[in-house]
Amino acid sequence: MYLLAVTKHIMETTRMALMGAVVVVVVFAGLNAVPSTSRASLFPNLVTASQSQALPPEVAALRLDFGRELAASACDGVGSPIINASQKIVRSVDSGQAGNYWAFDDFDRIIQVWATGEPNEYCASVKYTGSFRGVEGQVSPGATGVLTGKEAGPIQGGYVATINSTLLETPFWDTKGGVGTTDYACDISGMCPSAVNWVTQYFNTDYTFSYEWWGWIYRAGGKSIWVNSSDGNSGDVIK
What pLDDT is attached to residue 202?
98
CA-CA distance, 84 to 214, in Å (whole number)?
A: 19
Nearest to 106 by CA among 175, 198, 34, 185: 185
Mean per-residue pLDDT over the chain, rounded: 78
Contact between 121 and 142 under an 8 Å Cβ cutoff? The reply is no
Q: What is the pTM of this model?
A: 0.77
Sign of CA dihedral 2, 131, 141, 24: negative
Helices (H) and strands (E) in the chain, counts: 3, 10
Q: pLDDT for 175-213, tens place per residue?
A: 999 999 999 999 999 999 999 999 999 999 999 999 998
Q: pLDDT for 38-85, tens place per residue?
A: 344 444 334 334 333 443 333 334 345 555 665 666 687 667 899 999
What separation, in Å, do the N-terminal and C-terminal C-alpha atoms of the chain show? 18
Q: pLDDT for 111-127, tens place per residue?
A: 999 999 999 999 999 99
